[in-house]
Amino acid sequence: MRDVVGVRALDGAFAGDLIGPADGPYETARQVWNGMVDRRPALIARCADEEDVVAALRFARERDLAVAVRGGGHNVAGSAVCDDGVVIDLSAQKHIDVDPDRRIARAQPGVLLGELDRATQTFGLAVPTGNVSMTGVAGLTLGGGLGWIARKHGPACDNLLSAEVVTADGDRVTAGAGEHADLLWGLRGGGGNFGVVTSFEYRLHPVGPQVIAGGVVHAFSDAPEVFRFFADFVATAPDELSVAASTFRASPALPVSPEMHGELVTVLAVCYAGDLAEGERVLEPLRSFGRPLADLVAPMPYTALQSGSDAAYPNGQRNYWKSHYVDEITDGAIATLEEHARRMPSPLSSFYFQHLGGAIGRAGADTAAFGHRDAVFDFNILTVWREPAADAENVAWARDLSAAMQPYSTGVYVNNLGTEGADRVRDAYAPATYERLLALKDAYDPDNVFRMNQNLAPRPI
């Protein structure tokens, strides 16, 4: 590569790939999941190991270059890449170790959810992660990690037992119960603010291998009854059951009658991860409620559930998300959703409520920085389209709906945030947690080297 930023200084000190603007792989390597993000780093340092991370970080700091850290590259804000700086790209680090006897798994930071699921399900075990298998374990865990089995086993971050971290000074430390316990607390929900995690050690749980999953499809014209039923039903759900209510326009891929294609539907999507006969019993009221257009609920492998939504979230589409935690789905909220859903400009967009609670709410604030554990629903507006010319219309629709839902908001999940500013990062945590995070940032990254993230800016002295 051309010596654009003095990269020759890394010759012999770097085992992975150094990719600059003049190199063939650059155009692909700078892309992230969200097609709205178009940044041009000076250098992409695709690290082979921990030594590479230290070398790339030192290189960037000595030259006062911005630093971005890339895991799975799925963050909607595109914080895995920066303009003009150095991307510490961990995507090639894919090693996974599973110890089924001790029920522990270690994952390198380039591992994707589906890769971790495949390795752990071989033993009938799983780490609770998220719902789309192409997402990176790194960013997901560091922000929290909410998925189908979080109500039973907690978010991913609660199952992070320890982490190997390269700090802003290039030191290598282990954050665990015995050492740097404060750092482990921060890594469990405080995002990428404190260092580069080069290894994640997780607690494993018996899961599946079969679960009951799928969805019951309702016409959106029945939305008021469906949302009220959903809110009542989940209020007494056992921890084994997770339900989400998702609204979108039916594509021909959805097995409903052709006249419903292009029409709004609300799907009650479920996962029951427990005794299958008991799951059938628990799900019976949900499956017999109302006037379903289709019932797609069935036993299936946990890995099939985990990858079943992948096709709906391909790389490179334009994405703009808005999100709130919501405690109650009131009649006012339902009326707001009805009004805005009908004006949804793109057939690729959706909004959903994911029911939380269970083990998510039971851990104390001392366990993890992860915020708003008592939230009842994660409400997310996923605005998705393909044409840049449609940016303004789609962004405006999402902003309008988000503003209209603001009266019901109790906070926000940090991993759902786009580039929304410091106040929204603050909204992701209770005040005492936020203060503790700022103190931790002061201790581990006082110069704010790690600022391409949902940033906890260090306090002025």
Ligand X SMILES: Cc1cc2nc3c(=O)[nH]c(=O)nc-3n(C[C@H](O)[C@H](O)[C@H](O)COP(=O)(O)OP(=O)(O)OC[C@H]3O[C@@H](n4cnc5c(N)ncnc54)[C@H](O)[C@@H]3O)c2cc1C
Residues 6+ apart with CB under 8 A from 59: 7, 9, 10, 43, 45, 65, 86
- The reply to whether 45 sits near ligand X by the rule CB under 6 A is no
| 197 contacts ligand X (rule: CB under 6 A) | yes
Structure tokens at 149: 């089995």
Q: How many CB atoms lie within 10 A of CB 366?
A: 8
Residue placing its CB nearer to ligand X in the complex, 266 or 306: 306
Contact residues for 97 (Cβ-Cβ < 8 A; gap 6+): 105, 106
| Interface with ligand X (CB under 6 A), residue from 47, 107, 132, 237 | 132
Q: Residue 109 or residue 458: which is nearer to ligand X going by CB?
A: 109
Q: What is the DSSP letter of 348?
A: T
From the CB of 90, what's the least distance to ligand X, in Å? Answer: 5
The span from the CA of 197 to the CA of 187, in Å, is: 9
What is the DSSP pairing of strand 172-175 with strand 241-249? unpaired
Q: Which is nearer to ligand X, 69 or 293 (CB)?
A: 69
**Residues that contact ligand X, how many (by CB under 6 A):** 35
The interface region with ligand X, picked from 2-10, 130-138, 171-179, 205-213 by CB under 6 A, is 130-138
Spatial separation of the C-alpha atoms in residues 176 and 173, rounded to whole Å: 10
* Residues from 385 through 444 that contact ligand X (CB under 6 A): 415
DSSP state of 78: -
Peptide bond before residue 224 is cis, with ω within 30 degrees of 0 = no
245 vs 452, beta carbon nearer ligand X: 452
Of 131-139, 216-224, 225-233, 297-305, which segment contacts ligand X by CB under 6 A? 131-139
Phi, psi of 431 (to 5 degrees): -55, -45
Amino acid at 308: G
Question: Can you tell me which of 131, 167, 266, 383 binds ligand X, judged by CB under 6 A?
Answer: 131
Question: Considering only 16-24, 69-77, 260-268, 441-449, which stretch makes contact with ligand X by CB under 6 A?
Answer: 69-77
Work out whether 244 is an interface residue with ligand X (CB under 6 A).
no
Q: Is 139 in the site for ligand X (CB under 6 A)?
A: yes
Q: What is the 3-state secondary structure (H, E, C) of 44-66?
A: EEECCCHHHHHHHHHHHHHCCCC
For position 108 contacting ligand X by CB under 6 A, the verdict is no
Span near ligand X by CB under 6 A; candidates 70-78, 234-242, 292-300, 355-363 = 70-78
| Candidates 13-21, 74-82, 332-340, 386-394; binding stretch for ligand X (CB under 6 A) | 74-82
CB nearer to ligand X: pick between 131 and 336: 131
Task: Confirm or reject binding of residue 313 to ligand X (CB under 6 A).
Answer: yes
How many angstroms separate the CA atoms of 326 and 378, rounded? Answer: 6
Q: Rule CB under 6 A: choose which of 7, 36, 44, 138 binds ligand X.
A: 138
In Å, what is the CA distance from 325 to each residue of 105, 391, 410, 439? 30, 25, 5, 25
Nearer to ligand X, 30 or 336 (CB): 30
Q: Determine if 145 is a binding residue for ligand X (CB under 6 A).
A: yes
User: For residues 227 and 218, is the Cβ–Cβ distance under 8 A?
Assistant: no
Q: Say if CB 363 and CB 424 are below 8 A apart.
A: no
Q: How far, in whole angstroms, is CA 439 from its chain's centroid? A: 25
Query: If we measure between CA atoms, which residue out of 145, 82, 137 comes closest to residue 111?
Result: 137
| Segment 216 to 235, residues that bind ligand X, using CB under 6 A | none
Answer yes or no whether residue 109 interacts with ligand X by CB under 6 A: yes
User: Which stretches of the chain bind ligand X, using CB under 6 A?
Assistant: 33, 69-76, 79-80, 90, 109, 130-132, 135-136, 138-140, 142-147, 191-192, 196-197, 313, 415, 452-453
